[in-house]
Amino acid sequence: MTSEAPSECYVYVTLPGETEAVTAGRFALATHRHGVAEGRFVYGRSYLARANAVALDPIELKLTTRTYNTVAFSGLFGALRDASPDYWGRLVIQRHLRQASPSEMDYLLHSPDDRAGALGFGLNPTPPAPKRIFNQRLDLAALQTAADTLVATNDSNTAGRRNTHDLQVEKLLLLGTSMGGARPKAVIEDSDGLWVAKFNRRDDAWNSARVEHAMLQLARACAITTADSRVVKVGGRDVLLVKRFDREKIPGGYLRARMVSALTLLRAEDTYQSRNKWSYVLLAEELRRVCAEPQHNAAELFRRMCFNALISNIDDHPRNHAVIARNQDWCLSPAYDLTPATPISQERRDLAMICGDGGRYANASNLLSQCARFLLERDEAQAVMADMQAQIKATWHATARSAGVSVRDCEKIATAFVYPGFDQS
Ligand SMILES: Nc1ncnc2c1ncn2[C@@H]1O[C@H](COP(=O)(O)OP(=O)(O)O)[C@@H](O)[C@H]1O
Ligand SMILES: [Mg+2]
């Protein structure tokens, strides 16, 4: 921790049906000897006394008077870590603060209020009124340029040199930094509400915006619930807009859903050492525990796992799955960040998460091996998978073309779909 960083803050939450936040509790972060960080959280008494109080997450921070503490995840409780910026947002904040390594508390306090989920953080005992200052659809061109600049200066490692233009663009990008993920992105508002804008990088192998848009459509055709998306042209380039499913615009403000990643549900970290906990099978168990409709959600997770295997989405790590709560009940969030990959091997591809007795192997019999944990009979699971396989094989190309993916890009991604090893016994 840097010496100036505050070590405590208040945690705010926007309750179901409300558009303004209330104070839920207090979070403190202390660094002990040998650099061990310990986080503490306690709900406020007045919060606990509310009839409509909700827990900040479904597993770790139950609504009680006790003081919770953790030394996992650098002292950040999972729900707080999920509300904190990830790779892209951290990069923007580092630039803004001119610090190579701001503290976790700096990251929490410096990211604006458009973060995923319903939480907010601040130094005041009472939450500020929602600012509702968002970049607008019209700002997309400037945001795209800003993202390009940040990617370029980060790649060429010229962190020290910044001109006025850089400073302006950083200010634009700061709105939206709390969204996770590594790809350049921003949050924008239009008359329908809030969108995550994902920019193509100049070094992308194909038009990512159009390909991701196509994958969301293909997933929908496979009976998967997905985030809404569209592609818009900005300065001659495509930008993917994904509708925020954790915000709903209503007259006078935004409703917010709480949101917790699968990383948190699995009590796992983003590190290689933690990968033994990255598992669809374990995630299905957690969904059965926390979701109001366990059967429905476990079956949906099974479909997503099969879909990822069938499009070679090997970036299906636990931050790319989440549960949300629009009211008291938790459920699997709509699917997002669906991207095909084209590894050289035609025999074996591995998902990022364990998917059966054979580990991460994206293979039909492996995916079926633990179907009971997804509350599916074997013949049911087999039918789901066979339908999806047929659907993807028959329609991926037409879906991609109608989403505006070029013939050339279709050729580039062709080997992602139903790769030969999928059916190998
Ligand atoms: N439509 C959405 N609504 C709300 N939150 C979202 C949405 N899409 C993504 N997110 C959140 O933003 C994060 C980053 O988005 P993602 O599409 O995964 O970007 P990246 O490609 O950089 O990983 C996700 O991990 C998730 O927490
Ligand atoms: Mg992602």
Distance 180 CA to ligand 2 centre (A): 7
pLDDT number for residue 98: 76
Q: Looking only at Cα atoms, what is the longest distance across the chain?
A: 63
Candidates 228, 308, 337, 338: which one to mutate for ligand 1, based on the most atoms within 8 Å of Cβ? 337
Indicate which atom in ligand 1 lies nearest the CA of residue 259. Answer: 27
Give pLDDT, residue 102: 83
What's the chain's Rg over C-alpha atoms? 21
The pLDDT value recorded for residue 180 is 62
Question: Of the ranges 150-154, 165-169, 270-274, 412-416, which is most confident?
Answer: 412-416
CA-closest residue to ligand 1 atom 24: 180
How many CA atoms, within 13 angstroms, populate the side-chain half-sphere of residue 321?
33
Q: Whose CA is nearest to atom 2 of ligand 1?
A: 244
Q: What is the mean pLDDT of the chain?
A: 90
Nearest protein CA to atom 6 of ligand 1, as residue: 244
Out of 15-24, 108-117, 362-371, least confident range: 108-117
What is the identity of the amino acid at 217?
Q
Does the pTM surpass 0.75? The reply is yes
Q: Is pLDDT of 3 > 60?
A: no
* Residue 185 Cα: closest atom of ligand 1: 22
- Judged by its nearest atom, the ligand closest to the C-alpha of residue 181 is 1
Render pLDDT for 205-237 as a digit per residue (tens, 0 to 9): 999 999 999 999 999 999 999 999 999 999 899
- Ligand 1 is surrounded, with C-beta below 6 A, by 116, 179-183, 196, 227, 242-246, 319-320, 322, 336-337
Per DSSP bridges, beta strands 135-136 and 21-31 are unpaired
Per-residue pLDDT at 158? 46
Question: What does the pLDDT read at residue 106?
Answer: 86
Ligand 1 centroid from CA 33, angstroms? 36
Rounded Cα–Cα distance for residues 308 and 1 (Å): 39
Asked if pLDDT for residue 101 goes beyond 90, the answer is: no
- 41 CB neighbour count, 10 Å cutoff: 23
Which token pair is 196? 């995550």
Q: Would the pLDDT of 7 be above 60?
A: yes
Q: Take atom 17 of ligand 1 and give the residue whose Cα is closest.
A: 337
**pLDDT at position 2, please?**
40
Residue 250 has a CB neighbour count (10 Å cut-off) of 11
pLDDT score for 77: 94
Give dist(CA 61, CA 4) in Å, integer: 28
pLDDT for residue 360: 97
* Residue nearest atom 27 of ligand 1, based on CA coordinates: 180
> Per-residue pLDDT for 71 more than 70?
yes
**How far apart (Å, rounded) are the C-alpha atoms in residues 26 and 6?**
13
pLDDT, position 317: 93
DSSP single-letter state for residue 57: S
If you average pLDDT over residues 34-63, what whole number do you get? 94
- Per-residue pLDDT tens digits for 150-193: 777 766 554 444 555 555 555 566 655 556 667 788 889 998 99
